[in-house]
Amino acid sequence: MHNDRTALKSILESIDKILKYSSEYNSGEELFNDQETFDACMMNFIVIGEMVNRLTPDLILSSPKIPWNQMRGFRNIIAHDYFGIDADEVWDIIENHLPDARHQITNLIESL
């Protein structure tokens, strides 16, 4: 349980960093054009995927509404096909999926 809490807090920290870093942009193209910020966001997506890999199967099964497989899968896409990443898809994840994932993970941490 302790390791799950630590991993979840790392995931939450990385989500917060991505949301902070991307907050001044209005599109995936704008974010992509700032390569340092884009790279920082991508690195934090990798951290998220790595931390998901450290969660116990019981925790993952207990919270099926959180998109664990997509988090893990996106990490693999970034790590193995970095130059094929679509900035608009990244923007969609940041704008439409990360805030909800943040909320769900915050609730999960509080319930542990």
What confidence tier does 82 reach under pLDDT thresholds 50, 70, 90? confident
Question: Is this model's pTM higher than 0.75 or not?
Answer: yes
Measured between alpha carbons, how far is 98 from 62 in angstroms, rounded to an integer?
20
Q: For the chain, which residues make up each domain, given as ranges? A: 2-111
Calculate mean pLDDT across residues 90-101: 97
Q: What integer pLDDT is reported at residue 60 of this predicted model?
A: 96
**What are the CB-based long-range contacts (under 8 Å, 24+) for 22-31?**
22/91, 22/94, 27/88, 27/91, 28/86, 28/87, 28/88, 28/89, 28/90, 28/91, 28/92, 29/87, 29/88, 31/87, 31/90, 31/91, 31/94
Q: Is a pLDDT exceeding 80 seen at residue 65? A: yes
What confidence tier does 81 reach under pLDDT thresholds 50, 70, 90? confident
* Percentage of the residues of the chain whose pLDDT score is greater than 70: 99
